[in-house]
Structure 1
Amino acid sequence: MYLFFASPEDIYEDELTIRGQEAVHISRVLRFDKGDEIQVTDGNGNRYICVINRVSKQEVSAEIRQSENEERPLPYLTLCMGIIKKRDRLEFAVEKAVELGVDQLILFRGEYSLKENIRMERLDAAAQSAVKQSLRTWIPKIIIENSLERALNHYNDSSMLIVADETTSSGFSELKKSKSYFLVVGPEGGFSDGERKLLNRKASVHFSLGKKRLRTETAAIVITHHFKSMG
């Protein structure tokens, strides 16, 4: 089964339009045509069962036959991750975190972060692709912050603040369940002393991902999978 994306402004009461590369993929690559049934999401939790009624080079229009709104599955996950210098590794981390169920993604520049060049359109495309791959209907919001302190401004007490920390021996089994987690994974250069003090002031829970030292993107995948499976 395929799931396609349509912008919310292109969705009406009984019809929607898919544009750009998404439309090209439907008509030229997958060879869908008039009368074929497709599933579409707007990225805001809505799923539409549609039948194609018009196909052109850059647009596919479809009649909406059925629609449903899907609630976000619990627990709600925010992944707060240090920015990775290499673009392909950063995009890989975003893609896999979204596939595994992250609801919000905050990327921050740590004090020991290496200089990087972020292209938001590529990160958004990776997130959208991951949503379609995993048949999700919610596209996570991606936020860029220039420091861990600014990133933590998105945290509130309704979530449990969890920090992946290679310096502690506490494991998954010692953590309590929650309906919402704010997961922090440090940058490639690790946390500075000041950043560690900041996290401690926030009453964060530190735990270990194991004895092996993991890359930032690997740690992000491991921590996301574990906490999403606690639902």
Structure 2
Amino acid sequence: MQLFYAPDTNEHTSEYEFDREESKHIIRVLRRKAGDILHITNGKGWLFEAEIISDDLKHCRVKIIGSELKRKKNYYLHMAVAPTKMNDRYEWFLEKATEIGIDEITPVICAQSERKVVKTDRYEKIILSAMKQSLNCYLPKLNDAIPLSDFISTHKEGQCFIAHCNEQERFDLKRRVQPDQPVLILIGPEGDFTEEEVSEARAAGYIPAALGENRLRTETAAIVACHTVALINQ
């Protein structure tokens, strides 16, 4: 099955027309024609079965012939991850986390962040592509970048963890995460969180967490944390 994205659809939609770019992709590249069946999601949980009724290159139009609201995961995962110096590493994290299962992502700017300006346009495209590739009907939410202190003071959702490599006390993430609950995890930049940042998070109720014995890159740590939460909830 191949999944197409139609954000403006809902359970009451009877027909839908794709924009010019997607129409060209469906008709010219994929060689779909009138009468063919497409599977569509709006990124909000709905999966639609649709029949092509117009195979115009610029205005591919479909008729909705079936719909199903997919069940949400039994947990909600929000990860606040510092942007990496090399942009492609952060993009890799976004892609793989979407495939594994993540609900919300916030880039956080830390004291030791080497990248402090984040452009989310490309990030959104990568997340969308990964959602379609993994046949997921829920599009993860991508927030604008925010300073770490501001994030800590405004976000306290369910179980909150800060993963770091400092000498301060830490607890094994996989032994502390509880299933069927919302989880929020902070992952720092290449230079890690400062001791002051860790202390600030702990004072706000965040649990200091370890992700294993080895020192991990930012994007690797984020994927390990994401996968750990997914496994606990299987």
Q: Please give the TM-score of this superposition, normalised by the length of structure 1.
A: 0.91
Q: Give identity over the alignment, percent.
A: 28
1:3–1:41 Cα contact (<8 Å) kept: yes
From the superposition, tell whether residues 103 and 20 of structure 1 become closer, same or farther in structure 2 (CA, over 3 Å).
Answer: farther
SS at match of 1:163: strand
Q: Please give the TM-score of this superposition, normalised by the length of structure 2.
A: 0.90
Q: Which stretches in structure 2 are left out of the alignment for 5+ residues?
A: none
Aligned counterpart, 2:182: 180
Give distance in 2, aligned partners of 1:161 and 1:94: 20
Structure 1 residue 170: Cα displacement: 2.9
5 Å-filtered alignment, 1:37-76, equals 37-76=37-76
From the superposition, tell whether residues 23 and 81 of structure 1 become closer, same or farther in structure 2 (CA, over 3 Å).
Answer: same
Give distance in 2, aligned partners of 1:144 and 1:64: 34
Structure 1 residue 154: Cα displacement: 4.9
From the superposition, tell whether residues 89 and 41 of structure 1 become closer, same or farther in structure 2 (CA, over 3 Å).
Answer: same
2:174–2:229 Cα contact (<8 Å) kept: no
Give distance in 2, aligned partners of 1:187 and 1:58: 44
Aligned counterpart, 1:200: 202
Aligned counterpart, 2:155: 155
From the superposition, tell whether residues 134 and 44 of structure 1 become closer, same or farther in structure 2 (CA, over 3 Å).
Answer: same
Spell out, residue by residue over 1:137-196, the C-alpha distance to the aligned partner (whole angstroms, 9 max, x if none): 111111123311222345235x10022222456324521414110011111221123211
1:39–1:48 Cα contact (<8 Å) kept: yes
Give distance in 2, aligned partners of 1:154 and 1:62: 43
Give distance in 2, aligned partners of 1:21 and 1:154: 39
Aligned-partner residue type, residue 208 of structure 1: A
Give distance in 1, aligned partners of 2:232 and 2:16: 36
Aligned length in residues: 230
Give distance in 1, aligned partners of 2:96 and 2:177: 25
Spell out, residue by residue over 1:173-226, the C-alpha distance to the aligned partner (whole angstroms, 9 max, x if none): 521414110011111221123211111112222221112111111111111011
Alignment RMSD (CA, Å): 2.0
Aligned-partner residue type, residue 174 of structure 1: R
Structure 1 residue 36: Cα displacement: 0.7
